Structure 1
Amino acid sequence: MTTIKELNLFHVPDSIELNHFDLKTVNGKDMRYVLKFPVLKGEELKGIIQQVQSNRDEYLSALSIIEIVEKIHLAVQKWLNPEYPLRKLAEQLIPVMTGYDEEMVRLQLKRYIRTFRKKELLRFLDEEFDQPAMLDEFRPRKSGGMSKAFGPRTIFHVFSGNVPGVQVWSIIMGLLVKSGNIGKTSMAEPLFPVLFAESLAEVDQKLADTIAILPWKGGTHELEEPAIEHCEAVIVYGSNETVEKLRRKVPPHKRFLSYGHKISFAYVGKEALTPDLYYDTIKKIAEDVSIYDQQGCLSPQTIYVEEGGAIGSKPFAQMLGAELERYHKKRPRAMLTDEESMSIQRVRSRYQLESIQHENVSVFSSQTDTSWTVIFHKETGFEGSPLNRFVHVYSVEAVESMLSAIKPYQSYLQSCGLAVSPNRLFSLANQLGSCGVNRICSIGEMNQAKPGWHHDGRFNLIDLVRMTDMERTLEQNVEWYDTDFE
C-alpha cells in the first residue's frame, strides 16, 4: 500500500496562519506526496510582508554579520549529512518535479550546498567589503571618516525554476545584508528554498521568521503589486521578457537587480587535443553540456575547437556526440514538452538540409529521439541552441575569428570554459573580457561557479546596500561638545 505524505510548498513566519490552499499530487519511489500551496489574496501577502519586516527589525537587524554566517553554516552542515531527512526528501522529490536525473540532482545539490559553508561565506564577504563589519557598525575608512553599509529592509525575489538551488543563493545574499526576504517561487521547482528555510528554522526559528517563500503564477498583478510596493529592493531571475515586465513595474527609487538570458561557450585549444588529453577534454565538455540539460546560464551552447591538435574539430564533434550518448545512458535527459521537442527538430532539420547542400555543416544526433544533438560548422560563427543537450561545434583556425564571432553578442555572454596552455591564458582571458565575458573557468567546471563570483559581471552584496558616510571633520568637531574636553 502506498504511503501518502502531505508537504508544504511554502514557508511563512511561525505567527502567520494561512487558510486557503490548492493541492497537487506527485508520486515518489515509495510514497505519494500531496503538495500543498496557499491561494493568496493581496491583503494576505501584505500582512506576510509586514510580519517579515517586523521580525527583521526586531531580530535580524540586531545580529552581527558573523552570527548570521554561523547560523547559515549550521543549516548547511545539516545538508552535508547524506542521512539528513530534508536532503533525502529533496534528492527524491526534485527529480520527480523537474524531470532531471536523480543521480545528477544528488551530485549537484551536494556540490552546490557546500559553497555556503562558513569559510566560503567569509571569503565572499571579504571579496566585496574591505571590512565586512561595516554591515554591523560604522568602520574607519582609509581616506578618513567612517562608513556603514545598510541593506534593504525587505527584498522581493522572483525566482526561476530551471536550475534547483539558485533560489537559496539569493536568499542567503538577503540575509547577509540583514534584509527580510519575500521569495516568489516557480511551480517548476518550488521545493528547495522551502526546505532550506526549514533547515534555518531548525537552527534558529527567529531567523527563519524573516523569510517567506510563496509560489504563485507569474504576472499575478494582485500579488506582484503589494510585493513591489512594500519591498525596498527587487531581484528577478528569468527570461528577458520576465525581467522587462517587472522592471517596468518597479519605481526608479527602488533597487532592481536582474539576471536574465545569458549564453556561455567553451574554447578548446590545440594543447587540450593531444593524444593523451583529447578524450578527457571531450568527456569534460560533455558533462558541461549535460548538467541540468543546459537550462542554466553557465552551460555551454557553443564549443570552439582549435585546429592543429591530434584530432580535428569535426572528429571532435563526432566523438562529443558519442560521449553525450554514453552520458545519456548513464544520466538520462529530462522528458521534454512537445514544444521543446519541436524546437529541437526544427533546428536539426534546417541543418540536415544544409549538410546535404554544403560540406561545411554536419549533424550528429541521437537516432530515435532528441536526447542530444551536435551541429558541426567548418566556418567559425556563433549561435545559441534550443538547449536540452544541443550544442554547436565550430572549427577555429585562429583565435581572432572566434573573438570576431562572439563580439556582436557581448551583452548576452556569460561564462567561457577554457582549455589552453599557460602561456596563452592571460592574453586570451583579457581578449575574452573585452568582448563581454564575465567568467572564465576550466572546462568540466562550467556549472560550478565559486563563492563570490561576479554574477553577470557585477558585485552581489554591494549592489544591494547603500553606504552612509560620516566625515572626518565631524568626528573632530564633536569633541568640542564633550564636557570633559579641554
Structure 2
Amino acid sequence: MHTLERIELLDEVCKLFPETGFKGKEDLAALLELELKSLTALDEFFSYGYGKTKAIAPSQIYHVLAANTPIAGYQSLLLGLLLGSFNAVQCPKPVKNSLFRFVSSLPQKLQHKVELYDEFNINAFENSDCIVVFGQQKTIEYFKNLTPTHKRFIGHGHKVSLIWAGRVEEVNREKMALISRDISLYSQLGCLSPQSILIEENSSSEKIESFCQVLADSLRQDMSIQSQSLDIDELAAIKQHRDCAKALGWALWESSLLEPNPWTVILRKSPIFEPTCGYRTIYVDLIEKSKLEDWLKPIKGMISTVGVFEKMPENIISIFIESATSRFCPIGSMQQPAAFWHHDGRTRLQEMVRWVDWE
C-alpha cells in the first residue's frame, strides 16, 4: 500500500479523534514532508545531496503504552500506521477500552495492521524492529535493556509541565478558565498536565490571593470535563497533599472529596519543585526570579511544556530552555500540542525509520 493511500484511509480517523492533534490528511502529508523531506520518501528514492535516498519503515513496531491516558497511544499507533508498519500494542487495562475504540474506527484495510495485547508478548517484541515505550523511567530502562542494539528504541518517560504566570497585575477570569481546562483534562495525570503555576513573589499579596480564589472558582465551575468518581487510593492521595499543606501553614482552597471531580488549590513557597498528586490538585508557587534555576533543578531534563499566562521575559525563557524544556504554548492549549510538535524535543517519524542511500 502506497503512502498516499494510507493518508486517505487515515483522514477520517484524524477527524474522529481530534485529540491526536492531526486535523486530517493535510496534516499527515505535511508531517511526512517536514520530517522525511518528501511525501513519497517511503515509496521511492528522491534526490538528496549528490545522490538519492529512501526511507525504510519498520516492518513491525512494538508499542508499550502507559496507563494514565490513551492519547499517546492514539498518536503512536497513528504514526505507525502512517509509516505502513504492523503495530503490536501492549495495552494496560485502564486504557484498553479507549484503544479498542480507536482501532475499531480504523478502515478494514488498516485494522489488520494492529494487534492489541493485555501484557508483554515476547514473540511480538522479538519480531519487532522498532520499540516505542511510554511510562515511568524504570519501565523505559527495563525495555531498553531488553532491546538489541541493532533495533530502534524510542522511550518517552515521565515529564512535568508548568505554567508561568509571572508578576500578577490583574486577574483575568477568561484566562483562569483556560488554566482550569489545562488542569482538568485527563484528570491532570498526563505529561502535558500542569502541576504548578509559578507566580513572582513580589506580586501583591492581595493579587495573589485573588488569583488563587478565581482559579478555585474556575475549577469549581469547569464543565468541560466528564464527571467521574475517584477510588479510595486516589482520594487518599489528595487528602495527603491537603493535610501536608495545612500542616505547613500553606493557604488552601478545596472542594469536598465527596464531590465528583474534586479540586484543590494550594498556595506555597518551596525552595524546589515538588510534584502534585494530580486529580485537579494544583500548586501555586511563589518564586523569586533569581532562584528559578535552583527551583527547577529537580526536574531539569524532565520538563515537557510551559504554559505562558502573559508575555514571558527573555531571561526566564532562557532559564527554562537551559532546564531542557521542549515546548512553550499559550494557556488553554497545553493538552493539545500541534500535529508537528517535537515530542520530548525529538522528531516523531525520523526516529522510527532508517535510510538507504544511492550514490
Match of 1:26 in 2: none
Match of 1:216 in 2: 118
Match of 1:207 in 2: 110
2:45 aligned with 1:138, yes or no? Answer: yes
* Partner SS state of residue 411, structure 1: coil
Is the CA contact (8 Å cut-off) linking 2:21 and 2:336 kept in structure 1?
no
Q: Write the distance in 1 (CA, Å) between the matches of 2:224 and 2:343.
A: 31
What is the correspondence of 1:436-455 to structure 2 with a 5 Å cutoff? 436-455=324-343
Counterpart residue type for residue 411 of structure 1: G
Q: Write the distance in 2 (CA, Å) between the matches of 1:288 and 1:379.
A: 23
Match of 1:73 in 2: 11
Is the CA contact (8 Å cut-off) linking 2:51 and 2:358 kept in structure 1?
yes
* CA displacement at 1:163 relative to structure 2: 1.9
* Partner SS state of residue 4, structure 2: helix
What is the correspondence of 1:14-413 to structure 2 with a 5 Å cutoff? 60=1, 63=2, 65-77=3-15, 79=16, 109=17, 111-112=18-19, 115-141=22-48, 143-201=49-107, 205-212=108-115, 214-217=116-119, 220=120, 223=121, 225-270=122-167, 273-275=168-170, 278-306=172-200, 307-308=202-203, 312-327=207-222, 331=225, 334-355=228-249, 361-369=250-258, 371-378=262-269, 381-398=272-289, 400-413=290-303
* Partner SS state of residue 459, structure 1: coil
Ranges in structure 1 where 5+ consecutive residues have no aligned partner: 1-59, 80-108, 356-360, 472-486
Q: Write the distance in 2 (CA, Å) between the matches of 1:408 and 1:426.
A: 22
* CA displacement at 1:330 relative to structure 2: 6.7
Q: Identity across aligned pairs (percent)?
A: 28
Is the CA contact (8 Å cut-off) linking 1:165 and 1:192 kept in structure 2?
no
Q: Write the distance in 1 (CA, Å) between the matches of 2:335 and 2:11.
A: 23
Q: Write the distance in 2 (CA, Å) between the matches of 1:345 and 1:455.
A: 33
Alpha carbons of structure 1 residues 403 and 461: separation in structure 2 relative to 1, 3 Å: same
* CA displacement at 1:373 relative to structure 2: 1.4
* Partner SS state of residue 301, structure 2: helix
CA distances 1:27-60 after superposition (whole Å, capped 9, x unpaired): xxxxxxxxxxxxxxxxxxxxxxxxxxxxxxxxx4
Counterpart residue type for residue 122 of structure 1: A
* CA displacement at 1:322 relative to structure 2: 2.5
* CA displacement at 1:168 relative to structure 2: 2.0
Alpha carbons of structure 1 residues 280 and 266: separation in structure 2 relative to 1, 3 Å: same
Normalising by structure 2, what TM-score?
Answer: 0.90
The higher relative CO (CA closer than 8 Å, separation ≥ 6) is in 2
* CA displacement at 1:333 relative to structure 2: 5.3
Q: Write the distance in 1 (CA, Å) between the matches of 2:29 and 2:62.
A: 24
Kindly name which structure, 1 or 2, has the bigger radius of gyration based on alpha carbons: 1
- Two-structure CA RMSD over aligned residues (Å): 2.4
Is the CA contact (8 Å cut-off) linking 1:381 and 1:394 kept in structure 2?
no
Which stretches of structure 1, 4 residues or longer, exceed 6 Å deviation after superposition? Answer: none
Q: Write the distance in 2 (CA, Å) between the matches of 1:245 and 1:71.
A: 35
Normalising by structure 1, what TM-score?
Answer: 0.68
Counterpart residue type for residue 210 of structure 1: K
* More helix as a share of residues: 1
Match of 1:456 in 2: 344
Alpha carbons of structure 1 residues 452 and 368: separation in structure 2 relative to 1, 3 Å: closer
* Partner SS state of residue 93, structure 2: coil
CA distances 1:209-266 after superposition (whole Å, capped 9, x unpaired): 2222x2414xx5xx2x112111111111222232232222222222111222111000
* CA displacement at 1:416 relative to structure 2: 0.5
